[in-house]
Amino acid sequence: MIFGVDYYPEHWDRSEWEAQADLMKEGGFNTVRMGEFAWKLVEREEGNFDFSLFDEVIDILAARGIKTIFSTPTAAPPKWLVNKYDVLQRDKYGRKKGWGARRECCANNPDYIKKSEIIAEETAKHYADNKNVIAWQIDNEFGCHASTHCYCEHCRKEFAKWLKEKYGTIENLNEKWGGAFWSLDYDSFDDVILPAYNSCEPPSGNLWSHNPALDLEYRRFSSDSWVKYQKRQIDILRKYTSAAITHNLMGHFSDINAFDLSRELDFVSWDNYPENQWGASEHEYVSMAHEIMRGAKNKNFVVMEEQAGPAGWDFVGRSPRPGELRLWTYQALAHGAEGIVYFRFRTALKGMEQYWYGVTDHDGVPRRRFFELQRTAKELHSIEKYIIGARTHYDALVVKSYDNAWGHAIKRHSRNYDYENHIYSFYKANNDLNVNTAVSRAADYEKYKVVYMPAYNIITDGEAKEAEEYVKNGGNLVLTFRSGGRDEYNAVRPLRLPGVFAETAGIEAVEFDAPPRSVPVCGEINGEARIWCDIIEPNGAKTLSYYDDEYYRGKAAITVNEYGKGRVYYVGCDLNDAAVKELVRIVSKSAGIDVKDAPDGVEIIRKTSPEGDYTVLLNYNERETETGIKGESLISGNKFNGKIAPLGAEIIRES
């Protein structure tokens, strides 16, 4: 398996390369990822290419048994490119993005596209026959640095073409978008504007919103633009090499549709930083990010950047505690990773990331973090056969929809509503109850005993039919407020709420409220609503919980409806975490899922591998914790008595 480091030889004098490679070998690392920011290094002047720096490093590494994942370097355009060509993005106020960081260029700019294709092809040709280059990474982190959306003239013209291909006629677009509102009909596709700042006043933050159909389509177009930009490089690489191709995605990041971006990749990789200067993530949030990345292609993945030290740009986050790097590694493996690459090998002395610490510090001396990963490498190499090809048997699915992430960002419904947090609350509750839960698109429902579709508001007729058939055939579907009410053009459907789900849910939401204060929810699930309350009239459904305040006291808040052989649960309000957990417990038990609370701060994942079944135990507590699970440790070969060490990880063949 891949156990590697991200490495930047260009940051170090040649005299240090061999010693660094020796230390990598000593640490058990067998792979490096490099080259993603090296455009200026290999093309110092336009048209003059020199790969000798990387040739030498790749040979040095290979002599020590270390292979290379090489990157196309298009994420960091050189200054000569922006001096000669107008390739920089424009923001929504029409201002040109400045050069001096990375990701400044526009995916639809013909000069940037052409120069990207040239550097990608020269790189691919140069390393096509190099057996030490075992895989390729396209670019780096599409969308980071707020770079998904551009408002330049190239984007406007390409958007017009994109719309014409989709809608066929401008009359069709006007009808689907409701152009009659505010007299916004267009006479041609070339007239369609971008949803940029539309006031003569200077930027103040008080923006008028645009047509929600325009805004949604522009977000789809912007995502598609980077998918298309990536595809150009993939096609070039495939002309010269059969090595696997990936791109490093960003977990929960939703500006770009990960399902679309992953379609042409051989495998997904992503960059995982649980703790940094912007704060710490709950372990369930990190686990969900892993599952989103696994769900992007519904296959195992690689973590291409795994946090290896305290991390930050302007100041640092807290240092990983002893054992935590190892714990994060096993967390990734538990959720589908088959390879781990740590960022970075040695901490940079210069540049923005001086405070983004790696496996070794600025002086390159191996210390605690190095030795912890060295130990982890030995463990993983000994149990590799249990990791490669392993899979999780999922009982539940949380559906993530990029259309709905964008749609809820455009029309939030309530000031404090956040779609990402909403779907996370259902993943977290399942995780806390030891329910193995996938996160993916709305498809293949029949694989799961329960499907959660929180706030699935933008929905096609086909998706609605698939959900209905799933329930008819015995599935359990969980819906929430703000579901089923809009079509794929972001227009409100002329249906009683919850729209396309009203019949299957057996209810009508006759009113709704964004309450000024918390509203108690009582019944089989007890909690409180703080953001939204659908006031429900059951139409065949059974009431599970009701509101206990406001003018809708006594009205249904949560319902369940028998439909065909299955059930539809409708949650008309937001709920606090404890109430969501209780709801998930009831739904899971009814669906025949074995539900058992994990000890606080412990994650339990049951896996199947070619070598047999096993259980991964992850203890995020800084104290020893009793798990109640006994068996044999596949890591140590010793008996496991159920107690897991502080910040410990175990792989157990249960008794």
d(CA 530, CA 513): 10
How far is 636 from 381, CA to CA, in rounded Å? 13
Classify 514 as helix, strand or coil.
coil
Report which of 393, 450, 377, 454 is spatially closest to residue 423, judged by C-alpha positions: 454
DSSP summary character for residue 100: S
How far lies 203's CA from each of 99, 214, 448, in Å? 22, 21, 48
Catalytic residue, from 305, 338, 463, 603: name it.
305
Going by C-beta distance under 8 Å and a sequence separation of 6 or more, which residues neighbour residue 634? 383, 386, 614, 651, 652, 653
| Burial call 446-481: b when 16+ CB within 10 Å, e when fewer | eebbbbbbbbbbbbeeebbeebbebbeeebbbbbbb
Identify whether the C-beta of residue 38 lies closer than 8 Å to the C-beta of residue 72.
Answer: no
Backbone CA torsion sign across 196, 202, 207, 210:
negative
CA–CA separation, 141 vs 72, rounded Å? Answer: 12
Active site residue 305: yes
Is-catalytic flag, 141? yes
Nearest Cα residue to 568 out of 576, 578, 560, 556:
560
Pairing of strands 279-280, 275-276: antiparallel
Q: Which of 36, 43, 104, 141 is catalytic?
A: 141
Biggest alpha carbon–alpha carbon distance for the chain: 77
Bridging pattern class, strands 527-529 and 533-538 = unpaired
User: Which residues are known to be catalytic?
Assistant: 141, 305
